[in-house]
Every structure is written in structure tokens, then in C-alpha cells.
Chains A and B, each alone.
Chain A
Amino acid sequence: MAPSDSLAPALSLRGLTKRVPGGRTLFEGLALDVAPGEFVAITGESGAGKSTLLNLIAGLDAAEAGDVAIGGVALAGLDDDARTRLRRDRIGFVFQAFHILPHLSLAQNVALPLVLQQARAADALAEADRLLAAVGLAERGGDHPAQLSGGELQRVAIARALIHRPALILADEPTGNLDPQTAERILEVFTAQARGSGAAVVLVTHSERAAAVADRRLVLGDLGLVAADV
């Protein structure tokens, strides 16, 4: 895989166009640069294509036109395996539905990205325990997901997204399944940990409160990606 350019944006979109089956255009000609360490929130109405945009950035979907580059590495021209390795090394994910594997312990869930990068199990699990403590789940590494609440599960997901020190974190409605109080706490944890890691963050959300923590707010709509205060 081509090495990243340290001066390049953490994420760069150029002329991105996506249509859905049936011919409707979701967005056309999107452009966006996210600097390393920058926190960007994207809001928009349901059906605007926010999650689709995240899938395109992650290389999980293909656009009809345009380019996506992660740390200067263009996804176009990479085959599926190469895109998969790029995700493994440079991107962390936080999902609305948490997606914590029920049959693994909390520590194993968090350690998974490091294990996939060929880290030794002992080292990965130790780092996982450290991150679990950082998100407020100290000494819980041996527990299983069934023993946790929704908020606790999302903390585990945040720890998993950070353990391999990704250059870019993609968060899709991370507080969407949480009650307001829990959502507030999770937002604090997520913001603190993400900023502390130095990773760039693209957060997709309906929540004004969640969007408010970002350095830059964008709205995805008929006009494409525009600043929120336009």
C-alpha cells in the first residue's frame, strides 16, 4: 500500500457523485478536505445520503464519479483487498448499533483491530484494557457484551475505534440509540478520546448537540455539502 503523505489532508473528496438504484442522484460533485486532527460533523435530512457518504469514504461502496483519498492515498484504482487493508490500518469506526461481537469479551472486542494488524495477543489485550479504563470501563475486560448497557457498549465501540491509532475516525450516529443523558456522556467520552488521539473525525448525526462539539459543521442536502451556517 502506498505510504500516506504527512502533509496531505486526512480525508479528501473531489467531485464525488453517487446515484441510487432507480436513477435518483443522492449527491453530485461533492468536495471536502478534512485536515489531520480536525473534527467535522455532517448533518442532513433522512435519506440525504449521510451514511452512504461514510460508506464511500470507507471504501465500502463505489461512487459513479469522483475521488476519495485517505491520507493522500486514492481509493480509486485500489482493489477490494487493498481498500480493506487501508480500512484496517487507517480508519476507526463507531456505529449507531454499536456492533460489538456478542461472543467475544470486551477486551477481545476492543483488541480486534490491533490483532488484525498482527499484534501479539498479549500486547493487544493489554492495550485494550488500557483503553477500556480510559473510557470508564476499567477492570471490565473479561466481561461480555450481554452484561453491558447501551451506553457502556458504545464506550467499548469507541475504544475499539481508537486502539490502532487510526488517522481517520468515521462515526455514524454514535448517540442515535442512546437516551439523552447517556448520549451526553458518550459524546463527552468520544470527543475527549478522539481529540486526544489526534485523529481526524467525520461524525454523521441528526443531533444538534452532537454536531455542536465539532470544529466544522456541514449539511448534506440538495446543494451538496455546505457549511451549516450558510
Chain B
Amino acid sequence: MEGMTMRVQDEARLHAYHDGELSGFARWRFERNLRRSPGLQRELAELRSLSSLLHQQEAGGAPGVDLWDRIALGLPAADARRAEDREAPSVGRGAAWWLKPIGAVAATAAVAVAYLYPGASPTAPVSGNVVRWIDSGERGVVVLEDDPDSTIIWVMDDAVDGASIGGGSDLV
């Protein structure tokens, strides 16, 4: 019951903050909580997206380029968040994560820590340490993410049959 009360209060503050109704100390406190809470950040981002859409519709015009950009970039984000929500903390998780099938499309090759996908499908998020969701359309993609110094996403130009990183026409 107490949790529910807190939740209602949080939501009220979230809306007040979004509408610019918090000021002074209340605003500072909320921003401090916001900084510490990915869930709250997510809710605020969603509220802002929704608000933009509504304003656009009220104006009666077509959504602008920026709005489309945000919507387009927001769609994969929702999947990525779901992947993160489902996932336990990834301490000690190795490259073997990438051997998990990505929806209907499974990894076809694994060389060292490089994993080659025949066109990563957007149908399901992936849950690596770095890459949470990927869509390369029909193109194959090699993901090198198990390196402490960098993550490399190498997208092939064509079908992946026989393609491998370190050779083939995609490299030059």
C-alpha cells in the first residue's frame, strides 16, 4: 500500500516536472532522483515523446523531421529497454551470449569473439554486454564486442555467404 502511494506521488511529480510546475528545491530533488533512476528517465522520455506527438496532432500539421527522427530512433530503443529489463546484471558474461539465437535468425559463424549474423533481425532484441538491439536489414553483420577497449560493428555490403572479417570485398 505504501509502495503504491509512493508510486502515485512519483507519477504526480513526474507530470509536474514535465509540465514545468516544479520549482526550486522540489525541482532539484526530482532531478536528483531522475539522475539516479533509469526507470524514471525512461518514463520522462516516453512522456516527452507522447507530448510531442499530441502537440503535433493538435497543430494539425505533419510531424517534422526531428519528430520522425525521434520516433524512428525510439522504436528500437523500446526493445533494447525490454532486453535490459529482462536481463540480470551482466557480470562475468562472456562472448557466448552471442551464440543465443536472435529470434528466427541464428548466428551462422563464430570466430574467436567475432560473431557473424546473416542480417540481424529486428524481431527480437539481443542481450550482449554492449549491443542491446541490432537491425542490419538483409546485410550480414559482424559484432566484436568482447574487447575491453572497443566494440566493432562491421556491416557487410552484400549477403554473408562466405564472408568473414579480415577478408573479402567489404574490407576495401
Q: Do A and B bind each other?
A: no
User: Which residues from chain B sit less than 8 Å from chain A, CB to CB?
Assistant: none
User: Which residues from chain A sit less than 8 Å from chain B, CB to CB?
Assistant: none
